Amino acid sequence: MKIDILTLFPHMFDGILTESIIKRSIEKGIVDINIVNFRDYSELNNSQVDDTPYGGGAGMVLRCEPLVSAIEDLRTDDSLVVMLTPQGKPYKQKDAYNLRNVKHLILVCGHYEGFDERIRSFVDLELSIGDYILTGGEIPSMVLVDSIVRLLDGSINEESYIDDSFTDNLLDYPTYTKPYDFRGMKVPDVLVSGDHKKIADYRREQALLRTKERRPDLLKKDGDDNAN
């Protein structure tokens, strides 16, 4: 997979690209991630990328030319252009699974008071990571990159994510490790029983209980299958 991230603040990505799973995935050639400063595509002498909004109002709005020029320069037949915006579709785990199959992602990070509306004509998908406002699309784009790259073949073992929270609209079951007894709180006996069927049944039951207690809205999204 190739990922191009269009941003005005490329150094914000220094950490996420040089640590942990993403770093290893880049080194293995599983993913190629490029940070593109779309200020470089500005046609103005001072490399300006924003301007005051028509009709008045506070703040500055991103101009069409630099972003559209960057998108058109990078786009191929395999590309999917994603705009990170609070007005976008709420991002879910199922979206991460779908996006991992895209050969080339172009992530567009907004800033200031938003995009010139006409830029939307050049993107394929708009996504939001939540109902709150950030200073720009850089952090949301990092969320997408992290959630997608870990699902790519070879990044981590499939067993490490197959039962993640939100798989089948369920939260993950509780997990334990050594010591067996920590300050009087013991690991459930079934987990040390060696009976794999009982362990699987216990974990399924606990995932359902935890979801009902903490996120009952998830169970309503998938019909009655998870509630039975």
Range with the poorest average pLDDT among 17-31, 120-134, 148-162, 197-211: 148-162
Nearest to 71 by CA among 119, 103, 116, 111: 119
CA gap 191, 174 in Å, rounded: 11
Rounded mean pLDDT of 53-63?
A: 91
pLDDT in tens, 96-119: 999 999 999 999 998 877 899 999
Q: CB 185: neighbour CB atoms within 10 A?
A: 9
Among 100, 125, 149, the domain-final residue is 149
d(CA 37, CA 164): 34
- Of 65, 95, 113, 126, catalytic: 113
> How do residues 131-158 score in pLDDT, each as one tens digit?
999 999 999 999 999 999 999 999 977 6
Q: Name which of 52, 66, 61 is nearest 7 in CA terms.
A: 66
Which pLDDT does position 159 carry in this prediction?
Answer: 62
Q: Which residue has the tokens 């990092």?
A: 142
Domain housing 203: 163-220
CATH number assigned to the domain comprising residue 193: 1.10.1270.20
Q: Is the pLDDT of residue 181 over 50?
A: yes
The predicted-structure confidence for 79-102, as pLDDT tens digits, reads as follows 999 999 999 999 999 999 999 999
pLDDT at site 157: 72
Residue of 80, 94, 96, 44 whose CA lies nearest to 65: 44
Task: Give the tokens for residue 228.
Answer: 């039975």
Report residue 191's pLDDT band, with 50, 70 and 90 as the boundaries: very high
* For range 59-71, the mean pLDDT: 95
Do 137 and 178 belong to one domain?
Answer: no
pTM, rounded to two decimals = 0.84
Same domain for 118 and 168, yes or no, is no
**What CATH number has the domain bearing residue 121?**
3.40.1280.10
* In the predicted structure, residue 18 carries a pLDDT above the cut 50: yes
Please give the average per-residue pLDDT across 44-64, as a whole number.
Answer: 92
Which residue spans within the chain are E strands per DSSP? Answer: 2-7, 32-37, 50-51, 61-62, 79-90, 104-109, 125-128, 181-182, 185-186
- In the set 65, 146, 163, 164, the catalytic residue is 164
d(CA 222, CA 228): 12
Q: Is 150 a catalytic residue?
A: yes
- Please indicate, yes or no, if residue 191 is contained in any of the structural domains: yes
**99 and 43 in one domain?**
yes
Residue 179: strand, helix, or coil: coil
Instruction: Classify residue 193: in a domain, yes or no.
Output: yes
From the list 81, 88, 130, the residue with the least C-alpha distance to 108 is: 81
pLDDT of residue 73 exceeding 80, the answer is yes
The Cα 178–Cα 176 span in angstroms is 7
- pLDDT > 90? residue 162: no
| Domains in the chain, number | 2
pLDDT tier, 225 (very low <50, low <70, confident <90, very high otherwise): very low
Q: Average pLDDT, stretch 208-219?
A: 93
Task: Determine which one of 4, 138, 140, 150 is catalytic.
Answer: 150
| 164 in catalytic set | yes
Instruction: Give the end of a domain, one of 118, 149, 180.
Output: 149
Q: Are 199 and 175 in contact (CB under 8 A)?
A: no
Rounded Cα distance between 33 and 10, Å, is 12
Q: 75, 86, 172, 215: which one is catalytic?
A: 86
Single out the residue in 104, 124, 149 at which a domain terminates.
149
